[in-house]
Amino acid sequence: MELHKNIKHTFSALMLLMASVSFAQEIVVHDPVVIKQKETYYLYCTGKGISVFSSKDLKSWNPEPPVFKDKPVWADGVAADFKNHIWAPDISLHNNVYYLYYSVSAFAKNTSAIGVATNTTLDPKDKKYKWVDQGIVIQSQPNRDMWNAIDPNLIFDENNTPWLSFGSFWEGLKMVKLNPDLKSIAQPQEWHTIAKRKRTFELPDSDPGDGALEAPFIFKKNGYYYQFLSWDLCCRGEKSTYKVVVGRSKNITGPYVDKDGKSLNEGGGSILVQGDEKYYGTGHNSAYTFDGKDYIFYHAYEKKTNGTPRLVVREMLWDTDLWPVLK
């Protein structure tokens, strides 16, 4: 009887531990962002016309219609013969309007632009449901810009001023002040570099090498702005080396520093999650507070399926020095 009781208690504890640590999803995603409307979570990610999923519990996800049936009318003017495969969205609610930023780009080039679409509801069954494209917010061009206009993330500072962080490779991750309409850059323009890694000079543009970083996501908590970003290489299946690092600042525009006090503009960054026995690489995260708990969402290249990108959702806690730790 005592042995049976111990086995039962051990099994119960194991199941509780498994439930609390994290839950990987069977859906295939890249670059997930999430928002909650009423009792439903909506996930937006890279895909044809922007892929969409819905869930009631953050565990079981159902596919929804894509945001764009047809590619944005301006897309071909940015990336010739664009196939409507839209990258790395970002979703926010402000003044009862949903703002969905997204990336149009040519792979391995900074021929890119960030657009934004708006809607008053996220429920496809609602009669008011309709995404309205508002056009280009910011655009990068080769031989002109040393940054890449992809991977947007909208954040507001303590004065409710909107800022857009973004970037991938090149001369680092950037932040620019927006107008209150959230659709255009404020004048006079104010730009900041918020993360950067040194890159071997001789490498071709198609090889990021040791300078690979992208996908900033700013999360306000504990009196800090935490910048999450991804280092190294995504999108290579079994050869993916993606990892999430973090730094923080008291000011939204930085400077951001890691746990050792090293500036993210000088290659700093404290590793939060990386490849392990289950995944080749993990990255391009978002972070939110839902029902009093903090969560991180990211995609991970699963080993047992030869590098398929899976959704991973984990609760995020905070250590005594107010740095994030994953449950």
In this predicted structure, what is the pLDDT of residue 287? Answer: 99
In this predicted structure, what is the pLDDT of residue 205? Answer: 60
For residue 29 the two structure tokens come to 């995603």
Is pLDDT of 209 > 90? no
Is pLDDT of 296 > 90? yes
Is 31 marked active-site?
Answer: yes
Is pLDDT of 13 > 80? no
In this predicted structure, what is the pLDDT of residue 241? Answer: 86
List the domain range (segments joined by +) for residue 122.
Answer: 2-326
Task: Report residue 233's pLDDT band, with 50, 70 and 90 as the boundaries.
Answer: confident
pLDDT digits (tens, 9 = 90+) for 36-69: 999 999 999 999 999 999 999 999 999 999 999 9
We report the CATH number of the domain holding residue 20 as 2.115.10.20
Nearest to 46 by CA among 17, 82, 84: 84
Is pLDDT of 216 > 60? yes
Q: Which of 31, 64, 90, 258 is catalytic?
A: 31
Across 7-26, b (16+ Cβ under 10 Å) vs e yields eeeeeeeeeeeeeeebbebe
pLDDT digits (tens, 9 = 90+) for 234-271: 888 888 889 999 999 999 999 999 999 999 999 999 99
Contact in structure between 317 and 325 (CB atoms under 8 Å): yes
Q: Which of 133, 214, 258, 302 is catalytic?
A: 214
Q: What is the C-alpha to C-alpha distance for residues 143 and 27, in angstroms, rounded to an integer?
A: 38
Task: Report residue 17's pLDDT band, with 50, 70 and 90 as the boundaries.
Answer: very low
In this structure, which amino acid lies at residue 226?
Y
Is 64 marked active-site?
Answer: no
Q: What is the C-alpha to C-alpha distance for residues 135 and 90, in angstroms, rounded to an integer?
A: 15
Provide the domain count of the chain: 1
pTM over 0.85: yes
Beta bridge partners of 297: 286, 313
Q: Look at the block and give the residue holding tokens 């655009």.
A: 139
In this predicted structure, what is the pLDDT of residue 208? Answer: 63
Give the whole-number percent of the chain exceeding pLDDT 70: 89
Q: What is the C-alpha to C-alpha distance for residues 236 and 148, in angstroms, rounded to an integer?
A: 20
Q: What is the C-alpha to C-alpha distance for residues 16 and 240, in angstroms, rounded to an integer?
A: 31
Tell me phi and psi for residue 225, to 5 degrees. -100, 115
